[in-house]
Amino acid sequence: MKYIKRKLTIEKVSVETIAKKFGTPTYCYSYGKLKNNINNFKRNFKSFSPLICFAVKSNTNINLLKEIKKFGLGADVVSVGEMMVALKAGIKPNKIVFSGVGKTSHEIRYAIEKKILLINAESESEIKEIEKIAKIKKKKVQIGIRLNPNTDAKTLSQISTGKKENKFGVNSKSFIKLVELYKNSKNIELKCLSVHIGSQILDYKPYEKMLNVIMKILNKVNHKFEFIDLGGGMGISYTHKNKVFNYKKYNFAIKKFLNNYKSKIIFEPGRAVIGNTGILVSKVIYIKNSGKKNFIILDAAMNDLMRPALYGSKHKILPSSKSNRISKEIYEFVGPICESTDKFRTLKNFQKLKEKEIIAICDVGAYGMSLSSNYNVRTKPLELIIKGSKIKIIKKRQKHEELI
């Protein structure tokens, strides 16, 4: 995203061109950024060449998954639906891991039939269920057990997953017990210890703590795990206040860990791969002054991008044409939906906007489209991928006929 001759552009295409050609609201992804993110991620950890499983829940567009697959990534899925999309995108089963606290027997059966790399189980009952199904199918199923390391990820409470009050994984005591119970099972192969402590984590220290907890437990169990799955969660900078995640320090901590415990590392990044690749292009429908502030009423709403309403998260908003006229009014960017939480940002000193102007909401590649809904019987936006000056539709705009 940069301004070329005062016009906001994604790769070589101006945001105004996109709005004119395709209408709004529209999600646009930069192929170049996606490629950079993946290559950087690989480079950061190249000394131990991890298996990188893209967290499909962050973006489920099958055409994006096909691109991600071409870089050799696998998939981390959290439902049978996501598994089907990943497989359909051509991702090999031996690069798919399956997480989630409530896998149904149908989902487990499907995963076993497809011979995916790992089912990362999150409770004793789930392991029992997997064992039962494996026995019926006369198979030996590779599983991981997800540990809840009780580590504070220092992120929003809504997206924290590794503390004892969170529903995810099992605590250290149960973990040790489960390893003893299942390490010699006929139908289960205990291959992996997995963790995932949360999302949008900007400090490497929680990961360091998590690695220490894992090491302590590994020293207590009499079993060798082939894989250590460290989950995802690496944060990106959404506003200038966010720092950048220190990959060097995280890499260093993992290398230290590996010196003491030889194993294959798995990562499950979502946001770090796709987050900053996407923008949501939207048009100002009306501007309404309420005395205290100006409501900038957009044609994009919380159904298109739910993160601000769901977590109070802040996304940068940029005008499509840059000017030097700064508004003295406070701008509150809202959508047309009948909910007071349907707002994106409240900003001071924004440049003066007019009705019908185009703006872009930035860094919406992760948990943007994948969290969208049809609330208010609103159709879901179009999705485009931009490569240089080439534009490709990767998902058509939904039509009302499909909904009614």
Report if residue 191 touches ligand PLP, rule: CB under 6 A: no
- For 10, other C-beta atoms within 10 Å of its C-beta total 27
Q: Which is nearer to ligand PLP, 80 or 284 (CB)?
A: 80
Candidates 171-179, 236-244, 264-272, 331-339; binding stretch for ligand PLP (CB under 6 A): 264-272
Give 3-state DSSP helix, strand, coil % of the chain, rounded to 5: 35, 25, 40
192 is catalytic: no
Q: Which two tokens stand for residue 388?
A: 């240089």
Smallest distance from ligand PLP to CB 36, Å: 17
Q: Which is nearer to ligand PLP, 25 or 269 (CB)?
A: 269
CA distance 315 to 345: 7
Q: Using DSSP, state whether 392 is helix, strand or coil.
A: strand
Looking only at the bridges linking them, the beta strands covering 74-77 and 96-98 are parallel
Q: Which two tokens stand for residue 387?
A: 């490569």
**CB distance 305 to 364 below 8 Å:** yes
Strands (E), 18-117: 26-30, 51-55, 74-77, 96-98
Of 145, 235, 131, 241, nearest in space to 186 by CA = 131
**CB distance 66 to 282 below 8 Å:** no
Candidates 103-111, 176-184, 226-234, 290-298; binding stretch for ligand PLP (CB under 6 A): 226-234
Smallest distance from ligand PLP to CB 387, Å: 23
Task: Write the binding mask 66 to 95 for ligand PLP: x where contact by CB under 6 A, - elsewhere.
Answer: ----------x-x-----------------
Report if residue 162 touches ligand PLP, rule: CB under 6 A: no
Q: Using DSSP, state whether 108 is helix, strand or coil.
A: helix
Q: Which is nearer to ligand PLP, 41 or 350 (CB)?
A: 41
Looking only at the bridges linking them, the beta strands covering 96-98 and 118-121 are parallel
Candidates 172-180, 267-275, 288-296, 357-365; binding stretch for ligand PLP (CB under 6 A): 267-275
Report if residue 263 touches ligand PLP, rule: CB under 6 A: no
Q: Which of 13, 24, 57, 378 binds ligand PLP (CB under 6 A)?
A: 57
Smallest distance from ligand PLP to CB 357, Å: 32
Q: Which residues are catalytic?
A: 338
Q: Which residues bind ligand PLP (CB under 6 A)?
A: 55, 57-58, 76, 78, 99, 196, 199, 231-233, 268-272, 366
